[in-house]
Amino acid sequence: MRFDVLTLFPGMFPSYLGQSLLKLAIERGLIDVQLHNIRDWAHDKHHSVDDRPFGGGPGMVLKVEPVVECVEATRALTPDAGHLVMLTPHGRRLDQRIVEELAANERLILLCGRYEGFDDRVRQLLAPDEISIGDYVLGGGEVASMVVIDAVARLVPGVLGDEESNRQDSFSGEDRWLEFGQFTRPREYRGLAVPEVLISGDHEKIAEWRRAESAKRTAEQRADLLDPAPTVEQPKENETERT
Ligand code: ADE
């Protein structure tokens, strides 16, 4: 899977991408992350990418031309134009379902903003998939794009090694509950013992225990996940209500 990150600060990425799971995934050719500096598409000799907002107000706004042209040039680099994601606090809030949806693409183009955000014509012209990583405002979209890369890369076959771990993860699998507690050696530490059942070797019992633990933990910490609001099907146009 290929990720193209469009940013004013490409220097923020190599350290994160150069460690642990993502480093291995890149080395194994399972993911490819290409960084592009939006400033390279600035029009004037000062390479300016931001300007004061029309109508006044604090801060600076990312200019439309460098951003749109950087996106267009990046999309044209491969036959697959990719799925364009704009990281912005105004977007739909990222969760594991959206991560799964994003992972279904072969190529993601991640557009990171800075300052007070983008000139709104970027959104109007490019119709990106606007994604927020939570209801708070970051200094820019870079950390948010790393969150997307990290969460999506885990779903690329081969990255985790054992695909079962994806299904067991919190917010994943059929029920999307929180994951059960895990233990490793030693069997006892400061008076706290590992639950007997986990050492029993009885796989059916272990699965039962884990399911119960998962339910308990979800009820205690994220009851909203136990009873998701039912999705209401909207009647299609021309479809009259049956009596
Ligand atoms: N840029 C600034 N804040 C953000 C957020 N919460 N999510 C995604 N991108 C952002």
pLDDT truncated to tens, each residue of the chain (243 aa)? 999 999 999 999 999 999 999 999 999 999 999 999 999 999 999 999 999 999 999 999 999 999 999 999 999 999 999 999 999 999 999 999 999 999 999 999 999 998 889 999 999 999 999 999 999 999 999 999 999 999 999 999 999 988 778 888 999 998 999 999 999 999 999 999 999 999 999 999 999 999 999 999 999 999 999 976 556 666 665 555 444
* Cα 89 to Cα 239: distance, rounded to the nearest angstrom: 36
Q: Is the peptide bond before 128 cis (omega within 30 degrees of 0)?
A: no
Q: In angstroms, what is the span from residue 91 Cα to ligand 1's centroid?
A: 8
Question: Is residue 69 annotated as part of the catalytic site, yes or no?
Answer: no
Given a contact cutoff of 8 angstroms between Cβ atoms, the answer to whether 109 and 74 are in contact is: yes
| Six-digit token string for 26 | 């890149």
Mutate to test the pocket of ligand 1, among 112, 115, 133, 148 (most ligand atoms within 8 A of CB): 133
List, as one string, the DSSP characters of 221-241: H-GGGTSPPPPPPPPPTT-PP
Question: Is residue 233 annotated as part of the catalytic site, yes or no?
Answer: no
Q: Given the residues 123, 169, 217, 222, select the one marked as catalytic.
A: 169
Given a contact cutoff of 8 angstroms between Cβ atoms, the answer to whether 129 and 85 are in contact is: yes
Q: Given the residues 66, 89, 119, 128, select the one marked as catalytic.
A: 89
Q: Is residue 2 left, alpha or beta, with left meaning phi > 0 and alpha meaning psi from -120 to 50?
A: beta
Measured in whole angstroms, the distance separating CA 153 from the mean position of its chain's CA atoms is: 9
- Ligand 1 lining (C-beta closer than 6 Å): 87-89, 113, 132-134, 136-138, 140-141, 144
Q: Given the residues 65, 69, 100, 116, select the one marked as catalytic.
A: 116
Q: In angstroms, what is the span from residue 138 Cα to ligand 1's centroid?
A: 5
Question: Is residue 89 annotated as part of the catalytic site, yes or no?
Answer: yes
At 234 the pLDDT is 64
Residue 38: strand, helix, or coil: helix
Contacts of 15 (CB under 8 A, 6+ apart): none
Contacts of 236 (CB under 8 A, 6+ apart): none
What's the predicted TM-score (pTM) here? 0.92
Mutate to test the pocket of ligand 1, among 132, 136, 148, 149 (most ligand atoms within 8 A of CB): 132
At 99 the pLDDT is 98
Q: In angstroms, what is the span from residue 83 Cα to ligand 1's centroid?
A: 18
At 231 the pLDDT is 64
Q: In angstroms, what is the span from residue 198 Cα to ligand 1's centroid?
A: 41
Measured in whole angstroms, the distance separating CA 1 from the mean position of its chain's CA atoms is: 14
At 243 the pLDDT is 41
Q: In angstroms, what is the span from residue 89 Cα to ligand 1's centroid?
A: 4
Question: Is residue 52 annotated as part of the catalytic site, yes or no?
Answer: no
